[in-house]
A and B are shown apart, each in its own frame.
Chain A
Amino acid sequence: MLYRTAGQFKTSYKADQALFPIRQDAVLLAIILTFAWVIFPMTASEFAFQTLLIPILIYSLAAMGLNILTGYAGQLSLGTAAFMGVGAYACYKLIEVMDPILAILLSGVFSAGIGVIFGIPSLRIKGFYLAIATLAAQFFLVWLFEKWAWLYNYNASGAIQVPNLQTFGVYVTGPQASSVTQYYVILGIVTLMTVLCINLTRGTLGRTWKATRDMDIAAELIGINLMRSKLTAFAISSYLVGVAGALFVFMWRGAAEPNLFDIPLSFDILFIAIIGGLGSILGNYLGAILIVGLPVVLNTVPEALGLEIKSATVEHYNIMIVGALIVFFLIIEPHGLARLWALIREKLIIWPFPH
Chain B
Amino acid sequence: MLDQSQGYVTADGRQIGGVLMEMKDITLRFGGVTAIKDISFDIHEGEIRAIIGPNGAGKSSMLNVISGFYTPQEGEVWYKGAPRPAMKPYEVARMGVARTFQNIALFEGMTVLDNVMTGRLNHMKAGILAQAIWWGKARDEEIANREHVERVIDFLEIQSIRKTPVGRLPYGLKKRVELARALAAEPSLLLLDEPMAGMNVEEKEDMSRFILDVNDEFGTTIALIEHDMGVVMDLSDRVVVMDYGKKIGDGTPDEVRNDQTVIDAYLGVPQE
Give the size category of B's interface with A: 35 or more
Known A203-B138, A218-B101, A222-B181; judge A232-B107 contact (CB<8 A): no
Q: Which of A130-138, A150-158, A204-212 contacts B (4 or more CB under 8 A)?
A: A204-212
Bitwise interface map of B from 73 to 100 toward A, beta carbon under 8 Å scored 1, else 0 = 0000000000000001110011000110
Closest residue on chain A to residue B68 by CB atoms: A221
A200 near B122 (CB under 8 angstroms)?
no
Q: Which of chain A's residues 201-227 have a Cβ closer than 8 Å to chain B?
A: 203-205, 207-208, 210-211, 213-215, 217-226
Q: Does B208 contact A (CB under 8 A)?
A: no
Q: Does B126 contact A (CB under 8 A)?
A: yes
Known A13-B146, A204-B126, A215-B106; judge A196-B118 contact (CB<8 A): no
Closest residue on chain A to residue B135 by CB atoms: A199
Closest residue on chain A to residue B96 by CB atoms: A223
Q: Which of chain A's residues 232-262 have a Cβ closer than 8 Å to chain B?
A: 232, 236
A-B contact pairs, 13 of them (CB 8 A): A13-B146, A17-B146, A199-B138, A200-B131, A204-B121, A204-B124, A204-B131, A205-B131, A210-B118, A217-B105, A220-B90, A221-B67, A222-B181
Q: Does B185 contact A (CB under 8 A)?
A: yes
B93 near A214 (CB under 8 angstroms)?
no
A199 near B118 (CB under 8 angstroms)?
no
Bound Cα distance A196, B181 (Å) = 27
Bound Cα distance A221, B147 (Å) = 24
Closest residue on chain A to residue B146 by CB atoms: A13
Bound Cα distance A199, B141 (Å) = 14
CB neighbours (8 Å) of A204 from chain B are 121, 124, 126, 131, 138, 141-142
Known A17-B142, A279-B109; judge A224-B90 contact (CB<8 A): yes
**Which among A13, A215, A220, A223 is the interface contact of B122 at CB below 8 angstroms?**
A223
CB neighbours (8 Å) of B101 from chain A are 218, 221
Main SS of chain B's interface residues?
Answer: helix
CB neighbours (8 Å) of A355 from chain B are none
Bitwise interface map of A from 2 to 16 toward B, beta carbon under 8 Å scored 1, else 0 = 000000000001101
Bound Cα distance A236, B129 (Å) = 11
Bound Cα distance A16, B236 (Å) = 40
CB neighbours (8 Å) of B93 from chain A are 221-223
A214 near B107 (CB under 8 angstroms)?
yes
CB neighbours (8 Å) of B8 from chain A are none
B150 near A223 (CB under 8 angstroms)?
no
CB neighbours (8 Å) of A218 from chain B are 101, 105-107
CB neighbours (8 Å) of A222 from chain B are 90, 93, 98-99, 118-119, 121, 181-182, 185
Bound Cα distance A217, B88 (Å) = 12
Known A218-B105, A279-B109; judge A208-B138 contact (CB<8 A): no
What 8 A-B pairs have minimum CB-CB distances, sorted nearest first?
A: A223-B93, A218-B105, A214-B107, A199-B134, A204-B124, A196-B132, A13-B146, A223-B122
Q: Which of chain A's residues 265-302 have a Cβ closer than 8 Å to chain B?
A: 279
Shortest beta-carbon distance from A187 to chain B in Å: 19
Q: Does B117 contact A (CB under 8 A)?
A: yes
B89 near A221 (CB under 8 angstroms)?
yes
Q: Does B173 contact A (CB under 8 A)?
A: no
B110 near A203 (CB under 8 angstroms)?
no
B133 near A199 (CB under 8 angstroms)?
yes
Q: Does B128 contact A (CB under 8 A)?
A: yes
Bound Cα distance A211, B185 (Å) = 15
A203 near B94 (CB under 8 angstroms)?
no
CB neighbours (8 Å) of B106 from chain A are 214-215, 218
Known A14-B143, A217-B105, A223-B122; judge A207-B110 contact (CB<8 A): yes
Q: Does B114 contact A (CB under 8 A)?
A: yes
Closest residue on chain B to residue A236 by CB atoms: B128
B109 near A196 (CB under 8 angstroms)?
no
Q: Does B69 contact A (CB under 8 A)?
A: yes
**Which among B67, B119, B128 is the interface contact of A232 at CB below 8 angstroms?**
B128
Shortest beta-carbon distance from B146 to chain A in Å: 4
Shortest beta-carbon distance from A238 to chain B in Å: 14
Known A200-B132, A222-B121; judge A210-B110 contact (CB<8 A): yes
Q: Does B157 contact A (CB under 8 A)?
A: no
Closest residue on chain A to residue B95 by CB atoms: A223
Closest residue on chain B to residue A19 by CB atoms: B134
CB neighbours (8 Å) of B119 from chain A are 222
**Which among B90, B122, B133, B146 is the interface contact of A196 at CB below 8 angstroms?**
B133
Known A17-B142, A17-B143, A222-B181; judge A214-B90 contact (CB<8 A): no
Bound Cα distance A265, B138 (Å) = 36
Closest residue on chain B to residue A232 by CB atoms: B128
Bound Cα distance A19, B121 (Å) = 21
Bitwise interface map of B from 179 to 196 toward A, beta carbon under 8 Å scored 1, else 0 = 001100100000000000
Q: Does B108 contact A (CB under 8 A)?
A: yes
CB neighbours (8 Å) of B88 from chain A are 220, 225
CB neighbours (8 Å) of A205 from chain B are 128, 131
Shortest beta-carbon distance from A232 to chain B in Å: 7
B108 near A223 (CB under 8 angstroms)?
no
Closest residue on chain A to residue B126 by CB atoms: A204
A215 near B90 (CB under 8 angstroms)?
no
Closest residue on chain B to residue A335 by CB atoms: B109
CB neighbours (8 Å) of A236 from chain B are 128
CB neighbours (8 Å) of B134 from chain A are 199, 203
B150 near A220 (CB under 8 angstroms)?
no
